[in-house]
Amino acid sequence: MNWRFSNRADARALPLADRHYNRQKVGAPQYVPPGKCLCLLTPAADALWVTSWPLAPYVKHAWPGAWVNSLFRNESTVRASRLIIEAVAATRGVFGEPPAIGIVSFVDASQVRHSREPGRVYRLAGWTHVGFTKAGLWVYQQLPAAMPDPVFLPDSQMDFVTQL
């Protein structure tokens, strides 16, 4: 497992968050939207993942109730698809049973390395391209049946419980 727990204001993660294209306020101490979240950072602080779990009534996209990968930045040598698989497993370990609608991620084709399929790393990690948002973002989704088994990160509460 390449990930370790982080938090929405981890100073080690801020440079990665500031380099992510969806960053709304570069330099702000927090980089996660409001609501429940899981922040993961590699030990070398060269990859960052955020799973958000927004309240469905406040969601403005077509997947209300889904977990949302609101930030993923990989500057490490680890394959992005491997990090995505591990992040979803860690999300399941923390959040428990996934919502029926699973997890989604939105990819801005104009902001990522040129490719015929922006966000291809999500497909390589077992996600499905399910369409586009009204703003033209590529939408990738992973339903619960396709998700990896839950993984409990070291130093998590569940890790402590399993050691008793």
Domain ranges of the chain: 4-163
Residue 24: the pLDDT is: 65
Positions of E strands within the chain: 4-5, 36-41, 47-53, 67-74, 103-107, 128-132, 138-142
**49 bridge partner residues:** 40, 72
Distance CA 119, CA 133 (A): 14
The pTM score is: 0.87
Dist. CA 88–CA 49, nearest whole Å: 10
pLDDT of the chain, 164 residues: tens digit per residue:
999 999 988 999 988 887 766 656 766 667 777 789 999 999 999 999 999 988 777 777 788 889 999 999 999 999 999 999 999 999 999 999 999 999 999 998 877 776 678 899 999 999 999 999 999 999 999 999 999 999 998 765 544 333 33
Classified by CATH at the fold level, domain 4-163 comes out as: Aminopeptidase (3.40.630)
CB 83 within 8 A of CB 40: no
Q: How much is the pLDDT for 54? A: 80
Cα angle 50, 78, 38 (rounded to 5 degrees) comes to: 15
Residues whose CB falls within 8 Å of the CB of residue 148, separated by 6 or more in sequence, listed in order: 85, 86, 88, 89, 92, 126
